[in-house]
Structures are given as structure tokens and as C-alpha cells.
């Protein structure tokens, strides 16, 4: 058993590096998407509101695995747009996380008392300046816990990329198992590696929450 754990570890270390890369880059891009879409969901402009709402409901209403296949296979078949596996994976995480982050942003902004907007206007600030200097800093503080949870969710969602043969953590474990016909140790260690990332992430998240008193 120990020998099998030692044997699978190099595979999993390689896989976890790619898993983290896809997750971090994807969620960062997703945050940018989510910030704009979330604010769009609060817009009084019907076109902006409608576009933002359709995006959120479409992405949240379909499984991420379907989105992965659409980006990697569908776009190539229909439009001739070809992404390599890693790029397709990052795009899938970004688009998927962006929809959920949009709702986090919307909820965070709406949680700020309306009196804060009035305070901005009384200081002679425009709506965009009020958002930037008064509303957003307070709202972002409240967004931190759900954003941390979304990071962990997106991290675990990367396991689905094994369906398009991305060499992430789960795929590497499967490769070792298929090659050696040993199954317990690879999948056990895949779970351990996920916990090695998620548990410290949750601890840091709780520390940040207490520090910011959110």
C-alpha cells in the first residue's frame, strides 16, 4: 500500500498544479465577469438587465459538464473555434463561476443600506463615484465569505475536466489506476490531495471573516 501511495504521488502532484492553475485563473476571470454582470443585474437599463439576467439564468440552469463539452467540442463543430484543453477548461470555470459570482455581487451591493447612496449624493458624488468609493468597499467585505466558498466549489468542479482528458488531479489518479490496475490508493490519495487544499482554504477563509468581522 505504501509503495502504491509513493508511486501515485508524482502523478497527483503534477495534477494538482494544473488543477490550481485552472481554478485560480478561471475564478479571477470569473470575478471580473461576475462584477460586471452582477452590477448589470441592478441596472435600470432594460437591455443591460436582460442580458445579465439571461447569462446568469442560462449558466446556473445548465450543468458545468455540458458547458465544458459545448466550449471544447460544440464551438469547434459549429464555428470552427478550437481551444486547447487547458484554455477550454479555464474558460468553462470563468463562465460558470462568473454567473454565481454575479449573484454574490448583486446580493452584496443590495445589502448596503440605501442611505449610503443618499450620503454619496449629498457629497456631490455621481452614481459611479458613489459605487466606487462608498458602496463597493462595504459590499466587497460582505462578499468575501461566499467568494471563498465559490473558489472551493470551482476547485472541485475541475475534476469534471477529466472528461476531456485534462491532466488535472482526478485524471492523473485515473491514469495511474488504469495503468497499474490499483484503484484504492490512487482514488484515496486524490481525495486526500483535495482536502489538503480545501481544508486550509476554509481555515484561512474563517480567519479572514473574523478579521473583517463579516
Write phi, then psi, for 82 (nearest 5 degrees).
-110, 120
* 147: nearest Cα among 81, 196, 102, 179: 102
Quote the pLDDT of residue 201. Answer: 87
Which of the residue ranges 5-19, 27-41, 184-198 would you say has the lowest mean pLDDT? 5-19
CATH of the domain at 47: 1.10.3720.10
Q: Are 205 and 145 in contact (CB under 8 A)?
A: yes
Per-residue pLDDT reduced to its tens digit, 69-121: 999 999 888 788 888 999 999 999 999 999 999 999 999 999 888 888 887 88
Domain span at 112: 2-212
Q: Is a pLDDT exceeding 90 seen at residue 128?
A: no
- Read off the DSSP letter of residue 125: -
Q: Hey, how many other C-beta atoms are within 10 angstroms of the C-beta on 124? A: 7
How far is CA 81 from its chain centroid? 23
Quote the pLDDT of residue 121. Answer: 81
When pLDDT is averaged across residues 127-156 and rounded to a whole number, the result is 88
Quote the pLDDT of residue 161. Answer: 93
Predicted structure pTM score: 0.90
Distance CA 166, CA 146 (A): 27
How many separate domains does the chain show? 1
- Exposure b/e, 147-186, CB count within 10 A at least 16 = b: bbebbbbbbebbbbbbebebbbbbbbbbbbbeeeebeebb
Distance CA 38, CA 86 (A): 27
Quote the pLDDT of residue 176. Answer: 87
Q: Is a pLDDT exceeding 70 seen at residue 214?
A: no
Looking at per-residue pLDDT, the higher value among 113 and 46 belongs to 46
* 55: nearest Cα among 106, 111, 128: 106
Amino acid at each position: 500500500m505504501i509503495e502504491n501511495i509513493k508511486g501515485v504521488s508524482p502523478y497527483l502532484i503534477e495534477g494538482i498544479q494544473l488543477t490550481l492553475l485552472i481554478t485560480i485563473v478561471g475564478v479571477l476571470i470569473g470575478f471580473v465577469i461576475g462584477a460586471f454582470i452582477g452590477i448589470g443585474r441592478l441596472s435600470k437599463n432594460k437591455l443591460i438587465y436582460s442580458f445579465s439576467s439571461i447569462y446568469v439564468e442560462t449558466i446556473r440552469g445548465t450543468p458545468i459538464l455540458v458547458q465544458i463539452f459545448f466550449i471544447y467540442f460544440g464551438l469547434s463543430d459549429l464555428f470552427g473555434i478550437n481551444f486547447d484543453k487547458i484554455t477550454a477548461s479555464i474558460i468553462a470555470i470563468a463562465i460558470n463561476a462568473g454567473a454565481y459570482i454575479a449573484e454574490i455581487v448583486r446580493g452584496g451591493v443590495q445589502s448596503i443600506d440605501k442611505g449610503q447612496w443618499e450620503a454619496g449624493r449629498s457629497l456631490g458624488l455621481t452614481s459611479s463615484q458613489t459605487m466606487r468609493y462608498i458602496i463597493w468597499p462595504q459590499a466587497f467585505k460582505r462578499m468575501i465569505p461566499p467568494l471563498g466558498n465559490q473558489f472551493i466549489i470551482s476547485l472541485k468542479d475541475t475534476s469534471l475536466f477529466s472528461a476531456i482528458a485534462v491532466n488535472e488531479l482526478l485524471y492523473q489518479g485515473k491514469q495511474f489506476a488504469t495503468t497499474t490496475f490499483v484503484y484504492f490508493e490512487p482514488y484515496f490519495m486524490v481525495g486526500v490531495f483535495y482536502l489538503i487544499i480545501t481544508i486550509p482554504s476554509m481555515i484561512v477563509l474563517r480567519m479572514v471573516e473574523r478579521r473583517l468581522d463579516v
